[in-house]
Chain A
């Protein structure tokens, strides 16, 4: 985060010496990259307590990762309003050994068995495709853009969790499978654009994306006990730095 801000200040300072461009309502596209931080249920990594009835089925165990993508805005008759679109790719990591241990202990307690074991594989990888209205404020070389988004999140993979509980030397196995589902997503963003030249600029953006959940398939779940996630909510707060190009 600090590097992103310092880079932004660096480029902005250089630009003040070699550019007289002023930012005005004009279509642009940009390429960006930055950090993507999971929030809410998606970020939680607790199992809860079976006997208290507080099992957290929706804990995502997602990790802070990165996002890269393309962004664009098309202004309506040079007004301050534009139609904007974003396509971004996110990686939110995978379960750690500690997370696997949490799952193993949780299922062991929930089913009251002698031992529990969990192995996990695959990462949270998804793409967001979002469109929405944008309103821009212009201040000399700067523009501030506010945007509301709606669209889809398409998962490429989610962590697979393979559980093996054993009681009286009898093993019982079941899994939460990796998902490639698509779901509705929405969000909003605020960004600060700085005009470096007539057709080029920098953009620092804060973006929030959320989805009520992508479908999750579980196999060999015979009894309802312990964590059972059938719909994984996704929510991400992203800070990105990009270069935008006018067209």
Chain B
């Protein structure tokens, strides 16, 4: 009986020693897959004071038969002065059949995407925080007539705590003015913190903007 017990202890010890030393590492790497393909990006506006008052602006990447970008085209953004507009993002991938609505996928991937909206010219540096959509480093031109436009994102993702996304926002216009609106979509995989810096840009376009 005693010998049997000793044998059991040796067996247990050997098994524990074996499993403790047998760890090894496995690794795998996936091939490259590109970011979302955006061939057309639009901002659609509805005047809060009059839902029949709608407008939009669209940026289009012109493609050849092999889906290579051969040019771009953009429409002008025209907004009424001293108004508030609800803004919705609408993005398409027209290389797919049927056409794929990229903005729906951005919504699914909202936890690591963040939109930025930067009117120019500006006469003072914009407030940069986790809850403002402005782009740090935007040149300030104190002597220029500013584009009287402020923007606030209105949607939140499902991170904990939630962070803004920018698929929907409110544009508030002031007095008549003109300039540009820079629109950027940042892709920040496992790095989104509300700021512009992390990640890379999936989209970075400009619209000539007129407030009248």
- Residues of chain A within 8 A (CB-CB) of B65 are none
> Restricting to A114-144, which residues have a CB under 8 Å from any CB of B?
114-123, 125
Q: Is the CB of B105 within 8 A of A89?
A: no
Interface size range on B against A? 35 or more
> Restricting to B48-81, which residues have a CB under 8 Å from any CB of A?
none
Tell me the smallest distance from the CB of B192 to a CB of chain A, in Å.
5
B35 at the interface (CB under 8 A from A): yes
Q: Is the CB of A111 within 8 A of B19?
A: no
Interface size range on A against B? 35 or more
User: Which of A103, A123, A220 lies in contact with B190, CB distance below 8 A?
Assistant: A220
Chain A residue with minimal CB distance to B106?
A: A112
How far is A243 from B173 in the complex, measured between Cα atoms in Å?
A: 85
How far is A95 from B26 in the complex, measured between Cα atoms in Å?
A: 7
How far is A31 from B4 in the complex, measured between Cα atoms in Å?
A: 10
Binding site for A on B (CB under 8 A): 1, 4, 8, 11-12, 15-16, 19-20, 22-36, 105, 108-109, 111-112, 158-160, 187-193, 199-200
A-B contact pairs, 9 of them (CB 8 A): A104-B29, A112-B109, A112-B189, A123-B22, A170-B200, A172-B189, A222-B191, A223-B159, A224-B160
How far is A109 from B30 in the complex, measured between Cα atoms in Å?
A: 10
Additional 6 contacts, C-beta under 8 A, given A33-B11, A97-B26, A118-B27: A100-B26, A165-B190, A172-B191, A220-B190, A221-B190, A223-B192
User: Which of B1, B105, B187 lies in contact with A51, CB distance below 8 A?
Assistant: B105
How far is A120 from B26 in the complex, measured between Cα atoms in Å?
A: 5
- Residues of chain B within 8 A (CB-CB) of A172 are 189-191
- Residues of chain B within 8 A (CB-CB) of A101 are 28, 30
Chain A residue with minimal CB distance to B35?
A: A112
Name which of A96, A116, A174 has the most chain B CB atoms within 10 A of its CB. A116
How far is A94 from B23 in the complex, measured between Cα atoms in Å?
A: 8
